[in-house]
């Protein structure tokens, strides 16, 4: 008895929705409210991510202040050109993400699919360049651990002074944790985008409902912003001759 009455209520609600918008969930008054709720939820998640990365940035700042000459020497051993290239790659991917959101808003399905695809290619390019950088660090024995070696590396701007390997190891620990965690976020982003690509291919997104594209885009931009800070902090501490 109870069951059938709730089903009836649901049916009536269902009919009411079908008349308005099939994508509108029961507990929202209108599509705009539903969209705002989803984007607000994403922003709250991003706020927790700010604190997550914030702790690492805080640790980085403290050690940079203490071991500045050693951090400068260690930073100089990373390829700044690769870092700058990766920054440009991520900025381009942020552009393709806003274009994807715009394509979804304006019902341009082919553009949406190609923008999502290009974003993923750029994300993979970033990870590829990152892998080259990591390989260099492994070959140079700059990975913290038993085989770590940073002997007789001059401190920039102080002739005759050499970096303390233990302090440099601290830099590389932070470098690998921060860039590694960032790369992990990129991999998660690629997972999200492959799902978006699949759903876009099936034609699920419309100008009325494309919330996943929007909040997936928010995530991607956030990961870009983290890199925007990682690049100058890790690669460009004290570069001038």
Partner 1 sequence: MSGHAKSSPLKMYFGIWITLLVCTYLTYKLAFIELGRFNAAVALGIATLKATLVALFFMHVWHASEKLTKLVVIAALFFLMLLLGLTMSDYATRLWS
Residues near partner 1, by CB under 8 A: 32, 36, 39-40, 43-44, 46-47, 50-51, 54-55, 57-58, 61-62, 65-66, 80, 84, 87-88, 91-92, 94-95, 97-99, 102, 105, 217-218, 221-222, 224-225, 228-229, 231-233, 235-241
User: Cβ closer to partner 1: 56 or 148?
Assistant: 56
CB 202 within 8 A of CB 83: no
CB 69 within 8 A of CB 105: no
> Phi first, then psi: what are they for 158, rounded to 5°?
-130, 85
Q: Give min distance, CB of 172 to partner 1, in A.
A: 19
* Residue that the structure tokens 């308005």 belong to: 20
Q: Give min distance, CB of 240 to partner 1, in A.
A: 5
Spatial neighbors of 199 by CB under 8 A, at least 6 apart, are: 205, 212
User: Residue 159: which H helix or E strand, with range?
Assistant: strand 158-162
User: Cβ closer to partner 1: 92 or 190?
Assistant: 92
| CA 237 – CA 209 distance, rounded (Å) | 45
Q: Give min distance, CB of 198 to partner 1, in A.
A: 24
Q: Give min distance, CB of 23 to partner 1, in A.
A: 16
């Amino acid at each position: 008895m109870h069951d059938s009455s709730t089903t009836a209520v649901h049916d009536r609600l269902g009919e009411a929705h079908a008349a308005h918008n099939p994508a509108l969930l029961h507990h929202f008054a209108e599509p705009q409210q539903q969209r705002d709720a989803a984007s607000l939820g994403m922003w709250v998640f991003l706020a927790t991510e700010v604190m997550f990365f914030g702790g690492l940035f805080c640790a980085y700042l403290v050690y940079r202040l203490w071991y500045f000459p050693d951090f400068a020497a260690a930073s100089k051993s990373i390829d700044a050109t690769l870092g700058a290239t990766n920054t440009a790659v991520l900025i381009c991917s942020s552009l393709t993400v806003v274009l994807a959101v715009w394509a979804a808003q304006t019902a341009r399905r082919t553009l949406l699919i190609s923008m999502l695809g290009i974003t993923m290619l750029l994300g993979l390019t970033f990870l590829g360049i990152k892998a080259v950088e990591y390989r260099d660090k492994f070959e140079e024995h700059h990975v913290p651990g038993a085989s770590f070696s940073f002997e007789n590396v001059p401190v920039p701007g102080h002739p005759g002074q050499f970096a303390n390997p233990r302090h440099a190891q601290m830099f590389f620990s932070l470098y690998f944790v921060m860039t590694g965690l960032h790369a992990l976020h990129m991999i998660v982003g690629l997972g999200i985008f492959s799902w978006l690509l699949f759903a876009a291919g099936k034609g699920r997104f419309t100008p009325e409902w494309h919330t996943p594209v929007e909040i997936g885009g928010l995530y991607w931009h956030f990961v870009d912003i983290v890199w925007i800070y990682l690049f100058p902090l890790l690669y460009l501490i004290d570069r001038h001759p």
